[in-house]
Chains A and B, each alone.
Chain A
Amino acid sequence: MQALSTAATGMMAMDLNVQVIANNLANMTTTGYKRQRATFQDLLYDHISRIGTQTSAQGNILPVGIDVGSGVKTVGTARLMTQGTLAPTGNALDVAIRGDGFFKIQMPDGTYSYSRDGSFQMDAQGRIVTAKGNVVLPTITIPQNSSGLSINAQGQVSVIQQGSTQPTILGQLTLTRFINQAGLLPIGDNLYTETPASGAPQDGVPGTDGAGDLLQGTLEQSNVDSVSEITNLIAAQRAYEMNGKVITAADQMLSTTSNLMR
Chain B
Amino acid sequence: MENILLVGLSRQVALGREMDVVANNIANINTNGYKADGSLFAEYLGSGASAGSGGAKISFVQDSGVWHNMAQGAIERTGNPLDLAIDGQGFLVLQTQRGERYTRNGALQINAQGQLVTSDGDPVMGDNGPIKFQPTDQQVAISRDGTVSVRQGNSNVDSIRGHLRLVDFASPQQMQKEGGGTFSAVDGAAPQPTKTAAIVQGSLEQSNVRGVVEMSRMIEITRTYMQVSSMLQQQDDQNQQAIDKLADVPG
Interface positions of A (Cβ within 8 A of B): 1-4, 6-7, 9-10, 13-14, 17, 37, 39-45, 47, 49-52, 61-72, 75-76, 78, 80, 82, 99-100, 177, 179-180, 182-183, 196-199, 202, 207-210, 228, 235-236, 238-239, 242-243, 245-246, 249-250, 252-253, 256-257, 259-260
Contacts and interface: CB of A to CB of B under 8 A. Distances in A.
Interface string B158-170: 0000000000000
A250 B23 contact: yes
A210 B138 contact: yes
Interface stretch (B51-59, B103-111, B192-200): B103-111
B187 interface: yes
B181 A202 contact: no
Contacts of A47: 176
A10 B79 CA distance: 26
A69 B174 contact: no
A197 B113 CA distance: 9
B105 to A, nearest CB: 7
A40 B152 CA distance: 32
Contact of A235 (B30, B107, B171, B174): B30
A39 B179 contact: no
B209 to A, nearest CB: 9
Given A64-B173, A242-B214, 20 more contacts: A7-B26, A13-B30, A40-B31, A41-B179, A42-B28, A45-B177, A51-B175, A52-B186, A67-B37, A68-B66, A69-B37, A72-B31, A180-B109, A197-B112, A228-B78, A239-B29, A242-B215, A245-B215, A246-B23, A246-B218
A49 B42 CA distance: 14
B28 A69 contact: yes
Contacts of A62: 65
B80 interface: yes
Given A65-B66, A68-B20, A9 B225 contact: no
A256 B222 CA distance: 9
A239 to B, nearest CB: 5
Interface string B224-235: 011001001100
Interface stretch (B85-93, B129-137, B242-250): B129-137
B114 interface: yes
A183 B111 contact: yes
A76 B114 CA distance: 19
Interface residues of B, number: 74
Given A67-B176, A80-B80, A245-B215, A75 B120 contact: yes
B24 A71 contact: yes
Interface of B: 12, 15-17, 19-24, 26-32, 34, 37, 40, 63-67, 78-81, 105, 107, 109-114, 119-120, 133, 135-138, 151-154, 171, 173-181, 186-188, 211, 214-215, 218-219, 221-222, 225-226, 229, 232-233, 236
Contact of A51 (B28, B37, B138, B174): B174
Contact of A199 (B28, B112, B236): B112
Nearest to A14: B30
B173 A44 contact: no
B28 A72 contact: yes
Contacts of B180: 41-42, 75
B31 to A, nearest CB: 4
Given A6-B23, A72-B28, A43 B179 contact: yes
A9 B27 contact: yes
Nearest to A9: B27
B108 to A, nearest CB: 10
Contacts of A45: 176-179
Given A14-B30, A243-B26, A257 B176 contact: no
